[in-house]
Amino acid sequence: MSAKQRDAEKRRRLGKKLDKLEEQMKATEGFRLHLKIRALRNSYYVFEANYRNLSVALDRVGKIENLTTLWAVDNRDKLDRLLAEITRLLHNFLAGAKTLVDHTRVFKNDVYKGKGFEKVYQAKVDRDLVDSPVVSFVQDLRHYALHKQLPITSAELSFQGSEGGTIKDYDSTIKLDVNSLREWDRWRVKSRIYLDALDNKVKIKEVAEQYEAAIRSFYQWFGEQQNQMHRVEFEELSNLETQYSQVSQEWERA
């Protein structure tokens, strides 16, 4: 057998080994869990990206270099366009928030239904999310926005002058009209508690920040629990992936 034939035979044997390792990886519980967790992480990414987009737009309103442009009397159209854009981003944030809730529920039922962790999971959800007025409010606001109308928003500018006439402090922000929201009769109890604690208007950024912080904290906990519970399954998959990588490098050199 020539050297060329031996190399071809070696590549053939290594190729078959790669195929077998790939089949073994796909047959593991770790691989099945990996695919499901990756899908849920994609849903979380959508939620976080929508939050960041909304936050960036709201921050732009508050920057001092944009005050003259946004609040010029003869430039009202630009402010109106900005309000429309923030309403769009708010809609995306609310929709992504509910999508994440639904996808997480499906994931939990698929992976943990009837298992001991389900009770631990539900206790955490009840304590940190279900019992949270701001979480309840944001999720109900999603129903309001999708099934009734988009929330009414308004831009507000206030400032304090220092001695000598210069601006000492200012606040340029976008708010929700709380009074119009209160007219809706489908708020849950926790959401109504949140609404009743507000003034006539509330900053969108404050609501979004509070909700995002609660959700981020929950999913950090959830991820840590998954890593602990499925450590053996993930180690098995990782070992096979290491073998696959080593054989693949050998195949490329052959």
Terminal Cα distance for the chain, rounded:
16
Give me the pLDDT at residue 74, please.
62
Token code pair at residue 142: 């999603």
Closest CA to 186 of 114, 111, 136: 136
Percent of the chain with pLDDT over 70: 88
Quick check: pTM over 0.85?
yes
Amino acid found at 56: V
Looking at every residue in the chain, the average pLDDT score rounds to 90
Token code pair at residue 103: 């996808």
CA distance 141 to 148: 10
Residue 60 pLDDT greater than 80, yes or no: yes
Q: Per residue in 122-135, pLDDT tens?
A: 999 999 999 999 99
Amino acid found at 240: L
**3-state SS, residue 8:** helix
Mean pLDDT value across residues 183-194: 96
Q: CB neighbours (10 Å) of residue 89? A: 21
**3-state SS, residue 161:** strand
Give the bridge partners for 252, in sequence order: none
CA distance 56 to 204: 12
61 within 8 A of 172, measured Cβ to Cβ: yes
pLDDT band at 101 (very low <50, low <70, confident <90, very high): very high
- Beta strands, E only, the chain: 153-161, 167-177, 201-203
Q: Per residue in 211-254, pLDDT tens?
A: 999 999 999 999 999 999 999 999 999 999 999 999 999 888 87
pLDDT band at 66 (very low <50, low <70, confident <90, very high): low
Residue 166 pLDDT greater than 70, yes or no: no
Token code pair at residue 100: 């994440």
Residue 203 pLDDT greater than 70, yes or no: yes
